[in-house]
């Protein structure tokens, strides 16, 4: 029964509820673990300071290669400005399938591939399609903070499971991971190769995790955005190497890192075949799909992007060498060598609050890095530096970091 304005009784909460339903899911309700995005605020702060070197964000300084941009110019000239297909243009879906066959040696039919408006969007779609309010998602940390935020936005409840750094390497204890999964666990979220550590899961561990999840009916959300950003091999092991078609698996990928296309907001999702309809519907409600003309550029990236990727990998490798020559020499700084991605994630002895240290560094020496605490619990003494920049910028940044530490 709805009450009229006049006979409302403020002392009867149930009546109040009928008249004025309490609005759940406000901003504050969502982000229980993520909290306010202090790292993003610091990133903006660093960028607002004239002369500050910002290596806080996960993107390089190289622009998208010309041959990719040219395809988009042509698409625009050809009038490809209309709505696209919700799940992506069939030619791009086919090209992604061809790419998996060529580079990964795996067969992924087009009905298991959806083009998305970024890797970030792909994660959100995957989670929205499986989560009920309050479902538990076990997130292997350190993890790119936004994945925690996206999970909470999709109604999930995060349980963090931390990797350990020991003897110069990040390690995942699978048995312990399995032990924290309960009947309430709907999904395990894992980033391999990892942002921020560069840690990369072995094929054997991927196989074990896949079997465990299959047995327990748990979803795996595998973020493989850095799958080609490897320093010693052509690609990282993928969940697609071990999964069956009907496994409860979503694999997230993106054009952002591999082909320097961060601003394009283009990615893709590999899903079980029976998820296609649901994901397509979600896309129609979220944004009606990725832009039409940018998908033409994405096809070129997949077809002809290997040389550019090699060029980037050479740059990352040189920069990693530079970092490994300089960082470990600094007193109190230690870092595991990352086998992939383009981040140095290092520990600074005596750092009790990486957010505060980040702000001080911006103010004192004009260098902006990303606070380690943003990547999960127990990481307050870490900082992340993105080294996908020119060696000159990296050298200047390391000079500033050294200067900052010498003042402590
Ligand atoms: C692990 C991981 N996944 C996804 C993304 C975002 O990719 P996209 O630019 O396609 O949204 C990032 C960006 O830093 C990332 O580190």
pLDDT, tens only, 270-328: 999 999 999 999 999 999 999 999 999 999 999 999 999 999 999 999 999 999 999 99
Among 127, 192, 225, 264, which residue has the most ligand 1 atoms within 8 Å of its CB, making it the best to mutate? Answer: 225
C-alpha torsion sign, points 186, 191, 196, 198 = positive
| Residue range 174-181: mean pLDDT, rounded | 98
Mean pLDDT score of the chain, rounded to an integer? 93
Residues 172-207 as b/e (b if ≥16 CB within 10 A, e otherwise) read beeeebbeebeeebbbbbbbbbbbbbbbbbeeebbb
Closest ligand 1 atom to the C-alpha of 59? 14
Gap between the Cα atoms of 188 and 186, Å rounded: 7
CB contact at 8 A, 169 and 115: no
252 φ, ψ (degrees, to nearest 5): -100, 135
Q: Which atom of ligand 1 is nearest to the CA of 120?
A: 11
**6 pLDDT band (50/70/90 cuts)?**
very low
Say yes or no: CB of residue 144 within 6 Å of ligand 1: yes
In short, whether 192's Cβ falls inside 6 Å of ligand 1 is no
Does 354 sit in the ligand 1 pocket, CB within 6 Å?
no
Give the number of the atom of ligand 1 that is nearest the alpha carbon of residue 267.
10
Strand partners, 333: 348
Whose Cα sits closest to atom 3 in ligand 1? 225
Distance 118 CA to ligand 1 centre (A): 8
* Main-chain phi, psi angles of 140, to 5 degrees: -80, 120
Taking the domains of the chain in order of start, what are their residue ranges? 28-63+307-406, 66-304
Given the candidates 3.40.50.1010, 3.40.640.10, 3.40.1130.10, 2.40.50.180, the CATH classification of the domain at 66-304 is: 3.40.640.10
294 in contact with ligand 1, CB cutoff 6 A: no
Q: What is the pLDDT of residue 279?
A: 98
Distance 123 CA to ligand 1 centre (A): 9
CB atoms within 10 A of CB 331: 10
Closest residue by Cα to residue 71 from 259, 353, 350: 259
Q: How far is the CA of 360 from the centre of ligand 1 (A)?
A: 27
**Those residues with Cβ within 8 angstroms of residue 211's Cβ, 6 or more apart along the chain or in another chain:** none
Mean pLDDT confidence for 217-226: 98
Confidence of residue 28 (pLDDT cuts 50, 70, 90): low
Q: Is the pLDDT of residue 3 over 50?
A: no
Nearest residue to 264 (alpha-carbon basis) of 99, 64, 115, 88: 64
* pLDDT score, position 34: 76
Residue identified by tokens 């399609």 is 129
pLDDT exceeds cutoff 50 at 4: no
Decide if pLDDT at 68 tops 80: yes
pLDDT at 25: 59
Model pLDDT, residue 27: 65
- Averaged over 64-84, what is the pLDDT? 97
CA 58 to ligand 1 center in whole angstroms? 8
Is the minimum distance from the CB of 254 to ligand 1 under 6 angstroms?
A: yes
Q: What was the pLDDT predicted at 192?
A: 98
Which residues does 294 contact at the CB level (< 8 Å), separation at least 6? 72, 264, 265, 266
> Parallel, antiparallel, or unpaired for β 267-270 and 333-335?
unpaired
Ligand 1 contact via 401 beta carbon (within 6 Å): no
Query: Is the per-residue pLDDT at 18 higher than 70?
Result: no
Q: Is 401 exposed, middle or buried (0-12, 13-18, 19+ CB in 10 A)?
A: buried
Q: For domain 28-63+307-406, is the CATH number 3.30.1330.60?
A: no
Average pLDDT, integer, range 194-213: 98
Q: Which of 369, 386, 377 is nearest to 140 (CA)?
A: 377
pLDDT for the residue 209: 98
CA of 135 to the centre of ligand 1 (A): 23
Specify the higher pLDDT residue, 191 or 29. 191
Ligand 1 centre and the CA of 227: distance in Å? 12
Quick check: 80 and 292 in contact, CB under 8 A? Answer: yes
pLDDT for the residue 7: 45
Of the candidates 169, 235, 176, 163, which has an alpha carbon nearest to the alpha carbon of residue 203? 235
Local structure of 159: helix, strand or coil: strand
- Which residues face 313 on adjacent strands? none
Does residue 23 carry a pLDDT above 70? no
Binding site membership of 223 for ligand 1 (Cβ less than 6 Å): yes
* Interval 243-258 mean pLDDT: 97
Cβ of residue 120 lying under 6 Å from some atom of ligand 1 = yes
Torsion of CA 313, 317, 323, 325, to 10 degrees: -170
Give, as one character, the DSSP assignment of residue 230: B
Residue 26: predicted pLDDT: 63
Cα 403 to ligand 1 centre (Å): 31
Nearest CA to ligand 1 atom 8: 119
Asked whether residue 351 carries a pLDDT value surpassing 70, the answer given is: yes
Span 361-403, pLDDT tens digits: 999 999 999 999 999 999 999 999 999 999 999 999 999 999 9
The pTM of this model reads 0.92
d(C-alpha 230, C-alpha 106), whole Å: 19
Atom 14 of ligand 1: nearest residue by CA position: 58
Rounded to whole angstroms, the Cα distance separating 210 from 37 reads 32
Residue with tokens 């550019």: 308
Q: How far apart are CA 195 and CA 292, in angstroms?
A: 29
For residue 44, the surrounding DSSP H or E stretch is helix 38-48
CB of 97 closer than 6 A to ligand 1? no
Lowest mean pLDDT among 32-46, 90-104, 271-285: 32-46
């Amino acid at each position: 029964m709805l009450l009229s304005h006049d006979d409302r009784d403020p002392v009867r909460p149930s009546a109040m509820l009928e008249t004025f339903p309490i609005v759940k899911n406000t901003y504050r309700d969502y982000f229980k673990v993520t909290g306010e995005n202090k790292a993003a605020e610091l990133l903006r702060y660093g960028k607002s300071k004239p002369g500050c070197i910002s290596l806080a964000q996960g993107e390089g300084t190289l622009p998208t290669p010309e041959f990719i941009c040219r395809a988009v110019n042509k698409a625009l000239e050809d009038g490809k400005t209309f709505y696209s297909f919700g799940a992506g243009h069939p030619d791009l879906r086919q090209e992604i399938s061809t790419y998996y066959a060529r580079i990964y040696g795996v067969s992924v039919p087009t009905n298991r591939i959806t083009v998305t408006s970024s890797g970030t969007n792909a994660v959100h779609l995957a989670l929205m399609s499986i989560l009920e309010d309050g479902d538990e998602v076990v997130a292997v940390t350190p993890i790119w903070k936004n994945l925690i935020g996206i999970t909470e936005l999709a109604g999930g409840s995060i349980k963090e499971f931390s990797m350990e750094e020991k003897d110069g390497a990040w390690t995942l204890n699978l048995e312990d991971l399995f032990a924290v999964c309960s009947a309430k666990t709907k999904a395990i979220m894992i980033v391999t190769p990892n942002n921020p550590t560069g840690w990369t899961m072995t094929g054997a561990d991927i196989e074990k995790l896949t079997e465990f999840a299959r047995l327990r009916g748990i979803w795996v959300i595998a973020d493989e955005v850095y799958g080609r950003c490897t320093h010693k091999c052509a690609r990282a092991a993928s969940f697609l190497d071990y999964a069956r078609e009907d496994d409860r698996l979503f694999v997230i990928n993106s054009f952002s890192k591999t082909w320097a296309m961060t601003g394009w907001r283009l990615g893709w999702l590999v899903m079980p075949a029976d998820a296609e309809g649901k994901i397509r519907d979600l896309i129609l409600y979220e944004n009606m799909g990725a832009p039409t003309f940018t998908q033409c550029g994405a096809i070129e990236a997949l077809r002809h992007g290997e040389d550019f990727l090699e060029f980037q990998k050479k740059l990352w490798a040189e920069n990693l060498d530079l970092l490994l020559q300089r960082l470990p020499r600094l007193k109190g700084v230690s870092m595991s060598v990352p086998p992939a991605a383009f981040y140095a994630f290092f520990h600074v002895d005596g750092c009790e609050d990486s957010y505060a240290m980040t702000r001080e560094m911006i103010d004192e020496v004009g260098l902006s890095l990303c606070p380690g605490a943003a990547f999960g619990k127990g990481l307050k003494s870490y900082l992340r530096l993105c080294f996908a920049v020119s060696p000159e910028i990296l050298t200047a940044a390391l000079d500033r970091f050294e200067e900052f530490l010498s003042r402590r």
